[in-house]
């Protein structure tokens, strides 16, 4: 039931019959990020007609699995003065008991785990019930107040077509919009005092950005000419015993290997062999974006792999051919930023485009602060970051080099802002996150 939160945001949800609302809130299959969202959904329905629905408050709250809510939030539910709507419901003695039982269960599970004798002993003694898990999706969002939850629902109230229209109507950035934001704890006027620029040795492919070569280089130069034993490489890379193959550096055309627990088989190949392309999973489909073909030409074509038919088909191409792009799925769109164009005048670009899979259309939005390639787009906690890369941060830079800037997309200002910097500039790296920590490797 991925439509649950959009339903909660709609007016139709407020008009559901009591039997219907109870069926929804009891379901194991509704998609939510946390049990707090189920609680807030029940509060939203009750508050829509409190005078007539007050008598149903206990029945609705029985659908909430308080044992799946964190202890601090359970305490907050009973005491936070900013949650007036919730406090009025929790004032019912039966609902108070539900919250207390949930708190007792969470504490028991924390101390004993769910596999020990003590765990089941205390659950039985206190007459508690082990709650079943919901159909969790995405990052957990623990809304502190009911007002926060209502604000969160606003994103579901705006149709996707309207969001796309708003993005297409964005104005191009002014020159003074390119002023970088402040690093945490550092004022803008002190930015020049940050660590000195580090010029990392670059492959010939990137040296082509200086205009020294007449012909746009082939990316095999990157692997043939890179230095293998620099101190920076040893610091940034994690060594493994297994041999690895770089998909981004090889042509993918003949087949795509798909692995299961017991079998290995091949799917149909791409319609156009390509390398150094972006690869994104979106709506149960794979998208191969841009890249470079066997003749060294930079591509703007995009191919979509449908697992149902097992075939690749071209969709609408980007406005500009690019390789070594940064790609990610964010807010139901495919975002593509930066990359190498193959043009002498503009070898590296700062263009950002978004793809709407529903309308098969690309929309160009605000550009990056400066051109970069081999960067990484990363979405975490509903925030979009572009990390590192290679390029020239200003016209004063004579040559391209690895950059350490981590920029964040500002929805309100419709611009990219400097969030912080890595201790070591880098490009072609890998990203992951653990909890709230962003891990950058290579």
CB of 408 closer than 8 Å to CB of 384: yes
Question: At 153, is the pLDDT very low, low, confident or very high (cuts 50, 70, 90)?
Answer: confident
Residue 104 CB partners (closer than 8 Å, separation 6+): 126, 128
- State mean pLDDT over 355-360: 90
Provide the terminal-to-terminal Cα distance of the chain, rounded to the nearest Å: 39
List, for residues 77-103, the tens digit of each pLDDT value. 888 888 888 999 988 899 999 999 999
Give CA–CA dist 238/246, Å, rounded.
15
The tokens describing 61, both together, are 């709250």
Question: At 336, is the pLDDT very low, low, confident or very high (cuts 50, 70, 90)?
Answer: very high
pLDDT reading at 335 higher than 70: yes
**Burial class for 302, CB neighbours closer than 10 Å (0-12, 13-18, 19+):** buried
Sequence ranges of the domains in the chain? 4-157, 185-441
Give CA–CA dist 302/314, Å, rounded.
6
| Angle at CA of residue 370, ends 436 and 211, nearest 5° | 130
- Tokens 């492919």 correspond to 205
Per-position DSSP letters for 57-91, written without gaps between them: HHHHHTTS-GGGS-HHHHHHHHH-TT-HHHHHHHT
pLDDT reading at 216 higher than 80: no
Mean model confidence pLDDT for the chain = 76
List, for residues 101-121, the tens digit of each pLDDT value. 999 998 888 888 766 788 888
Paired with 417 in beta bridges are 408
List, for residues 53-80, the tens digit of each pLDDT value. 999 999 999 999 999 998 888 888 888 8
pTM score, whole prediction: 0.46
pLDDT reading at 168 higher than 70: no
**CATH code reported for the domain at 185-441:** 2.120.10.80
The tokens describing 424, both together, are 């070591």
Torsions phi, psi for 259 (to 5 deg): -110, 140
Choose between 44 and 308: higher pLDDT: 44
**Burial class for 31, CB neighbours closer than 10 Å (0-12, 13-18, 19+):** middle
**What is the per-residue pLDDT for 295?**
84
Following CA atoms 195, 197, 202, 204 in sequence, which dihedral angle do they give, to the nearest 10 degrees?
160
Find, among 242, 246, 248, the residue nearest to 290 by Cα. 248
> Residue 380: how many CB atoms within 10 A of its CB?
15
- State mean pLDDT over 38-44: 94
Coil/strand/helix, residue 8: helix
Give CA–CA dist 317/320, Å, rounded.
8
């Amino acid at each position: 039931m991925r439509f649950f939160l959009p339903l909660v945001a709609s007016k139709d949800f407020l008009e559901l019959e009591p039997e219907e609302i109870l069926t929804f809130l009891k379901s194991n299959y509704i998609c939510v990020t946390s049990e707090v969202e189920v609680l807030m959904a029940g509060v939203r329905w009750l508050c829509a007609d409190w005078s007539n629905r007050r008598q149903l408050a206990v029945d609705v709250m029985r659908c909430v699995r308080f044992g799946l809510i964190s202890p601090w939030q359970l305490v907050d539910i009973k005491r936070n003065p900013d949650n007036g709507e919730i406090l009025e419901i929790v004032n019912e003695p039966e609902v108070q008991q539900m919250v207390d039982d949930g708190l007792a269960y969470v504490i028991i599970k924390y101390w004993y785990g769910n596999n020990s004798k003590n765990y089941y002993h205390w659950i039985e003694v206190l007459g508690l019930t082990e709650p079943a898990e919901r159909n969790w999706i995405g990052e957990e969002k623990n809304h502190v107040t009911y007002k926060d939850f209502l604000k969160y629902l606003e994103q579901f109230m705006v149709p996707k077509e309207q969001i796309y229209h708003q993005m297409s109507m964005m104005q191009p950035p002014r020159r003074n919009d390119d002023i970088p934001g402040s690093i945490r704890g550092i004022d803008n006027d002190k930015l020049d005092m940050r660590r000195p620029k580090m010029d990392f040795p670059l492959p010939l492919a990137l040296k082509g950005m200086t205009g020294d070569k007449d012909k746009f280089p082939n990316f095999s130069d990157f692997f043939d000419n890179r230095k293998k034993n620099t101190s920076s490489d040893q610091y940034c890379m994690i060594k493994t015993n297994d041999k690895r193959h770089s998909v981004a550096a090889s042509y993918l055309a003949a087949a795509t290997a798909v692995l299961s627990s017991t079998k290995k088989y091949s799917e149909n190949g791409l319609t156009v062999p390509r390398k150094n392309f972006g690869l994104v999973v979106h709506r149960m489909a794979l998208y191969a974006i841009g890249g470079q073909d066997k003749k060294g030409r930079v591509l703007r074509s995009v191919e979509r792999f449908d697992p149902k038919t097992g075939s690749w088909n071209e969709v609408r191409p980007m406005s500009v051919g690019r390789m070594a792009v940064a790609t990610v799925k964010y807010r139901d769109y495919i975002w593509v930023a930066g990359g190498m164009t193959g043009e002498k005048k503009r070898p590296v670009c700062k263009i950002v485009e978004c793809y709407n899979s529903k309308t098969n259309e690309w929309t160009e939005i605000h550009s990056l602060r400066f051109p970069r390639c081999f960067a990484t787009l990363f979405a975490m906690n509903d925030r979009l970051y572009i990390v590192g890369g290679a390029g020239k941060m200003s016209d004063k830079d004579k040559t391209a080099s690895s950059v350490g800037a981590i920029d964040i997309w500002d929805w309100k200002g419709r611009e990219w802002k400097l969030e912080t910097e890595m201790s070591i500039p880098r490009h072609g790296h890998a990203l992951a996150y653990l909890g709230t920590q962003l891990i950058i490797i290579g």
